[in-house]
Structure 1
Amino acid sequence: MNTPLSPIAETARLETATETLAEYIGYLTSEIFAEEDKAEPNTGRIEALEHEREIVVDERHAITPDNIALINRALYVYAPRLKLMHG
């Protein structure tokens, strides 16, 4: 059973999710640039990263306080990925 969150907690979750999406977009962008700067860029990797970035940018634009599924995706899927990268 999920206990309703206070408005402050809901706002904090939304802000954290939004920041997570923005950071992940930044990471993907830097990976694209790094690949493009190589002497022999891997076009397949660039295309995959660009596709992932498009998905996350769309999610960033779609995030609202009511979109709990998207907030949860940012917090429970993307945030752990970023945490691993920061090691």
Structure 2
Amino acid sequence: MTIKPHDLTQAYEEARAAAVQEGVEQGVQLERRQVVENLLRFRFGEVDEELSKVVNSLLQLSAEEFTPMCLSLSREELLARFLH
């Protein structure tokens, strides 16, 4: 079986495109995490260990869902809703 240069180029381009897409997705996830943490920090002054446990749960929601929760629920309500 002979591998043609065109096949290698195509395989490289596909792998490169997949790597770029993965990088974009990781960047979006990091940005979402920073938004949630900043909202909580704005509300409560800091994101301590307990609140940091809530962040992953909030990230499962859309921005339309997590934003009002971060801005309106009390610390106790957030902890009760996502940790218990």
Q: What's the TM-score once normalised by structure 2's chain length?
A: 0.43
Q: RCO (CA 8 Å, sep 6+): is it higher in 1 or 2? A: 1
Q: What's the TM-score once normalised by structure 1's chain length?
A: 0.41
